[in-house]
């Protein structure tokens, strides 16, 4: 790998297709393996978050996986690889519009998981309804708010809770505690009554009570107008029929 890179790569981005890649973890390794299999060649310094392809008009932008939907969805990048949990969390806070949002164009077929409410194995909570009004620690605060809002309406017979939050929604009785990591520690230290996280994160101390969202394998996502001019957004079931955009025989 060549460590030479310009001090300021911004001018070199002109005319490049920006492709967002997770900057660490298993998802990064899988994404790089896919690029290697597609013969997308590039040089990257260990300290640089931008790498330029040697054989295609592509610039790779290395970002946290959770930031990639916003980067692509706001039109800053054309393509990205990230988990569907990150996509759903982004869309829970910034719903797609005619001029923003992402299109899921390829199911990458690895990393299956689910987002679940988790509580102690030997605790008193047997149903998620028992957690209404409690404190929930999570990194997925958008999806958790949506889930507990619906749960509170179910418990309350569809009645709106007094007060309001941003967007005109009723104020939650349940306290959603956002953490960027160490969610289990919040429970262990008594900061939360339960957590919302991906299945399998705490197999020994916590157990599953109910699904918050269906989270499947990572996806290749796109800012729609960068793929098709005058595009009309399609439904979520059609993305599997997209051509494989990473093929070398069909250059980006």
pLDDT single digits (tens) 138-150: 999 999 999 999 9
Class for domain 10-112+217-241, per CATH?
A: alpha beta
Question: Do the domains at 10-112+217-241 and 115-213 have one common CATH topology?
Answer: yes
- Digit-coded pLDDT (tens) for 69-82: 999 999 999 999 99
pTM, rounded to two decimals: 0.75
Q: Label each residue of 3-53 as H, E or C.
A: CCCCCCCHHHHCCCEEEEEECCHHHHHHHHHHHHHCCCCEECCCCCCEEEE
Q: Angle, nearest 10°, between helix axes 84-93 and 141-155?
A: 70
What is the spatial order of strands in the sheet that 219-222 belongs to?
A: 42-43, 50-53, 58-63, 17-22, 79-82, 219-222, 103-107
Alpha helix segments (H runs only) across the chain: 25-37, 68-73, 84-93, 141-155, 183-188, 224-227
Beta bridge partners of 19: 60, 79
pLDDT for 180 beyond 90: no
pLDDT value of residue 1: 43
- Tell me, which fold does domain 115-213 have in CATH? D-Maltodextrin-Binding Protein; domain 2 (3.40.190)
DSSP type of residue 239: G
Lowest mean pLDDT among 9-18, 117-126, 196-205, 212-221: 196-205
pLDDT for 242 beyond 80: no
Average pLDDT of the segment spanning 92-96: 92
Domain boundaries, the chain: 10-112+217-241, 115-213
pLDDT for 185 beyond 50: yes
pLDDT value of residue 18: 94
Of 25-29, 49-53, 111-115, 184-188, highest mean pLDDT:
49-53
The backbone torsions φ and ψ at residue 225, rounded to the nearest 5 degrees and listed phi first, read -70, -15
């Amino acid at each position: 790998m060549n460590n030479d890179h310009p001090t300021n790569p911004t001018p070199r981005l002109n005319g490049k297709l920006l492709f967002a890649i997770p900057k660490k973890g298993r998802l990064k390794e899988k994404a790089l393996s896919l690029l290697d299999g597609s013969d997308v060649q590039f040089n990257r310094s260990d300290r640089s978050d931008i790498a330029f392809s040697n054989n295609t008009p592509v610039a790779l932008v290395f970002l946290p996986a959770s930031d990639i939907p916003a980067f692509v969805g706001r039109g800053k990048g054309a393509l990205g690889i990230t988990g569907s949990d990150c996509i759903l969390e982004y869309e829970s806070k910034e719903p797609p519009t005619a001029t923003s949002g992402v299109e899921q164009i390829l199911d990458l077929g690895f990393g299956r998981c689910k987002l679940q409410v988790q509580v102690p194995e030997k605790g008193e909570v047997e149903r998620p309804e028992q957690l209404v009004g409690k404190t929930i620690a999570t990194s997925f605060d958008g999806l958790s708010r949506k889930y507990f809002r619906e749960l509170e309406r179910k418990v309350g017979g569809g009645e709106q809770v007094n007060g309001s939050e941003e967007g005109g929604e009723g104020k939650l009785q349940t306290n959603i505690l956002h953490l960027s990591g160490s969610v289990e520690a919040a429970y262990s230290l008594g900061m939360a009554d339960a957590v919302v996280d991906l299945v399998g994160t705490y197999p020994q101390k916590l157990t599953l009570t109910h699904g918050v969202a269906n989270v499947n394998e990572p996806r290749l996502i796109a800012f729609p107008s960068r793929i098709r001019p005058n595009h009309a957004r399609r439904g979520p079931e059609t993305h599997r029929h997209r051509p494989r955009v990473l093929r070398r025989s069909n250059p980006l």
